[in-house]
Amino acid sequence: MTADLTALDASVLASKIHAREVSSVEVTQAHLDRIAAVDGELNAFLHVAGEQALTAAKAVDDSLAAGNAPASALAGVPLALKDVFTTTDMPTTCGSKILEGWVAPYDATLTTRLREAGIPVLGKTNMDEFAMGSSTENSAYGPTLNPWDTTRIPGGSGGGSAAALASNQAPLAIGTDTGGSIRQPAAVTATVGTKPTYGTVSRYGLVACASSLDQGGPCGRTVLDTALLHEVIAGYDPRDSTSVNAPVRPVVEAARQGANGDLKGVRVGIVKELHSESYQPGVIASFDTAVAQLKELGAEVVEVSCPSFLHALAAYYLILPSEVSSNLARFDAMRYGMRVDDGNMSADQVMAATRAAGFGKEVKRRIMIGTYALSSGYYDAYYGQALKVRTLIARDFDRAYEQVDVLVSPTSPFTPWKIGEKVDDPLAMYLSDLCTLPTNLAGHCAMSVPSGLSADDGLPVGLQIMAPALADERLYRVGAAYEAARGPIARP
């Protein structure tokens, strides 16, 4: 029974729990057993909160037994939480030694919404340190392995959440997306991940990497599961100054509509600049097949040009490090977290020694790049120019959406590479984000849906669907329609 429960979709589990065919405690325990069985090899979790998860599950069961309506559409279904959201009952490390063992004094708004929805949190998942990376190899606690091939990366920075989903350790997960950290892991693990419109999911209690880019979002194994979680976590939050005060988009309704398989009247744009001969051949072949399926569903498909997208990588890797340089200055060894002090050191020496010992190589690299880009004499030449490119990218999107409803591209130019293959070549690592970066720079929404396995190596490939700000439901309609047409994908 345990194996059967961990293989079920979250929507199916929710129906069974709410009908009291199975208890939330049974479902949660099944996933805890699965974690115990396989995570020693995969390293998807940094902290497993078995006692807390079972307590939350029992509360759901007791409430249902008393005749109460479920707290949400996903009440009782357990979830894996990326270790970048604060939690008062388990550590929040952000994959860094500098926060090892740190327990926050408050819950993130997203954490609170999960608790209020009756969703047991199984634990915190592994990630590239402070969400900086595309492979989860930058974690201070060791890399996460891809369940499809344990010699390969699961994507990043949210590789732990994606690997937990792909290996049936959790039916739902939360990630964050700064430049593709939800979508790229989803693509290389054959799971679904959505980056919502910036500001529609609260960032309060999300430990910041780059504040103008970071966005929490839902991850699942199906489009419907992801939509159900999206509606739980979305919504205005007055504690977040970047929060958008607008109604939550009807993403679940859109997913159910899309599952009927009719895309007549939907205009789909292929982004010329995100379809390159330099991409892995199996990725391009999978993408072309997916586009043909969208046409068969009745969509009108045209090519659009967004020329400024060619400069997105350069702009992103100036804007993000600049914001990192500012945000990570708070880790000063004076208030919380790691502290290196031999008792005879000045405050400046303590800060320097703690940061040297506590931050990893990639974090240090980005802090130095950002500090340089913001320095006197270079601000206008680097950071200022990057902001202008960001504006041009947003304008390209606007022109494209005058012609089409959604845009599509491969999610990543490559299937998952070997562990260690790119750790000494940062630029090669950064190139994996080519297709995902523009959406973050514009603040729009995007989703990755599995598009099968590459003919090159039999590894997962993702289809990226993009939509304008506050049009998240379009992602779910098109994603669900494509998912139904594509059919089931074998699990690892």
pTM over 0.95: yes
pLDDT in tens, 415-425: 999 999 999 89
Does residue 77 contact residue 10 with C-beta atoms inside 8 Å?
Answer: yes
* Peptide bond between residue 157 and the one before it cis (omega within 30 degrees of 0): yes
To the query of whether residue 181 is one of the catalytic residues in this protein, the response is yes
Give per-residue burial for 81-106: e unless 16+ CB within 10 Å, then b: bbbbbbbeebbbbbbbbbbeeeebee
Rounded to whole angstroms, how far apart are CA atoms 273 and 266?
Answer: 21
Catalytic residue, candidates 11, 161, 181, 308: 181
- What value, to the nearest 5°, has the Cα angle with vertex 126 and ends 121 and 131? 110
Domain ranges of the chain: 1-492
CB atoms within 10 A of CB 267: 16
Catalytic residue, candidates 16, 72, 82, 448: 82
Q: Rounded mean pLDDT of 278-295?
A: 97
**Helix H or strand E segment including 217:** strand 216-220
DSSP annotation of 297: T
Q: Give me the pLDDT at residue 208, please.
A: 96
Q: Rounded mean pLDDT of 16-28?
A: 98
Q: Give me the pLDDT at residue 2, please.
A: 55
To the query of whether residue 82 is one of the catalytic residues in this protein, the response is yes
Catalytic residue, candidates 157, 308, 325, 454: 157
Rounded to whole angstroms, how far apart are CA atoms 205 and 115?
Answer: 14
Q: Give me the pLDDT at residue 99, please.
A: 97
What is the CATH class of 1-492?
alpha beta
Does residue 132 contact residue 189 with C-beta atoms inside 8 Å?
Answer: no
pLDDT in tens, 193-242: 999 999 999 999 999 999 999 999 999 999 999 999 999 999 999 999 99
- Mean pLDDT of the residues in the chain: 96
Rounded to whole angstroms, how far apart are CA atoms 474 and 266?
Answer: 9
The two beta strands, 192-195 and 172-176, are unpaired
Q: Give me the pLDDT at residue 490, please.
A: 85
